[in-house]
Structure 1
Amino acid sequence: MALTRKRGSRRRPRLEIIPFIDIMFFLLATFMMVSLTMIRNEALPVHLPKASSSVPTDPKDRVTITVAARGELYWNRDRVSLEELRGRVSELKSLKDPKIYLNADKDVPFEEVVTVLDVLRKDGIYRVAIQTAKPSTSNHAPR
C-alpha cells in the first residue's frame, strides 16, 4: 500500500540543526588552533644550551635580553648597544616585579653573559631566568 498525501496538506520543510552544530564546533576548533599559533615570541632564534630542568615560560609581560652568537645584544627583537641596555634596564626599576629572561647562544663566551648579568644587578634586578632547551633523548651522557 503506497502512502498518499491528501491534496490540501503541505509538508513543511524541516530545519536540521545537527549539521549546523557540527559546523560550529569545527569553526570553533579551527579558530582556537589558529589563535594559539599567533602568540608573539619576542626572542631571537639562538642555539640555547641544554638543561634537563628546563620548563616552559609564560610569554606575557616579560623582557627578553638576547646575546647572539657574535655577541650582539637584543632587547626583545631590537638590537641595542651595552649603553642602551643600561638605560632600558634602569627604566625597569619602576616596575614592581620585572620579568627578565636571558637568552644567550651556547657559543657566546661566558664573559659576555656575565656582563649582561652585571648590568642587571647594578640596577637592582636579581631575579633573572636563563632560558635553556631540553636535551634530546638521542644524546648520550653529558661530557
Structure 2
Amino acid sequence: MQMARTRHTKSRAKAEINVVPYIDVMLVLLVIFIATAPVVMQGVTVDLPQAKAETMNQDEMTPIIATVDKAGQFYVTIDTSTVKMGSLDELTNYVAGELQKDPVHQRPVVVQGDAQVAYDNVIQLMNALKNGGVKSVGLVTEPISN
C-alpha cells in the first residue's frame, strides 16, 4: 500500500545568497592590504616650506623625488621605495641610472627639502642632479594654509 503524498511535504527551493565566498575574498584582500601598507607608507618625514604653486600634471610619469632632510641626509624616492644615499655623488649616479632605464620618456625629477634645512644643501642637491643629466628639476612645497 502506498501512502499518498501530502502537500505539506513538498520541498521548495530557498532563494538565499551564499556569502561565504565573499567573506573569503574580503579576508584575502584584508591580508594583502595589511602586508603592503608598511611598504606604501615608507618615506622621509620633512617639513616642507609653504608656497603658492601649480600642481603637477597627473598625466606625467610618477616623479623621482630627491629629498634632503633637516639633518642634511639625502634620499631618493622612486614610486614607493625610498633609498638613503651616502653622498651626493651616489645620489647623482642612482638618479642617472633610473633616467637611463627609459631615456625616451624622461621621468620628472623634483627636490623636496625640509623647511629647516640650510639653503646650501638644497642648492647642492639641485646642482648635483643637473650634473647628473637631469634637464629640469621641480621643487616640492606645501600649499599655504589660511
Superposition TM-score, scaled by structure 1 size: 0.65
Q: Give unmatched runs, 5+ long, in structure 1.
A: 1-5, 138-143
Residue in structure 2 matched with residue 52 of structure 1 by the alignment: 52
d(CA) in 1 for partners of 2:40 and 2:8? 64
Summarize deviations over 1:67-126 as a string: whole Å, max 9, x none: 000111112222211221122133244232023221110111111111111111123312
- Root-mean-square deviation (Å): 3.5
Asked if the contact 1:43/1:103 (under 8 Å) is kept, the reply is no
d(CA) in 1 for partners of 2:65 and 2:41? 10
Q: How does 1:1-143 map to 2 (within 5 A)?
A: 6-7=6-7, 9-17=9-17, 38=37, 40=40, 43-53=43-53, 55=55, 61-76=62-77, 77-80=82-85, 81-94=87-100, 95-96=102-103, 97-137=106-146
Judged with a 3 Å threshold, the aligned counterparts in structure 2 of structure 1 residues 9 and 67 are, in CA distance, closer, same or farther, namely same
Asked if the contact 1:73/1:79 (under 8 Å) is kept, the reply is yes
Displacement of 1:43 in angstroms is: 3.5
Asked if the contact 2:53/2:143 (under 8 Å) is kept, the reply is yes
Displacement of 1:15 in angstroms is: 1.5
Q: 1:79 is matched by which residue type in structure 2?
A: K
d(CA) in 2 for partners of 1:44 and 1:105? 10
Q: Secondary structure at the match of 2:75?
A: strand
Q: Secondary structure at the match of 1:47?
A: coil
Superposition TM-score, scaled by structure 2 size: 0.64
Displacement of 1:128 in angstroms is: 2.0
Q: Give unmatched runs, 5+ long, in structure 2.
A: 1-5
Judged with a 3 Å threshold, the aligned counterparts in structure 2 of structure 1 residues 10 and 64 are, in CA distance, closer, same or farther, namely same
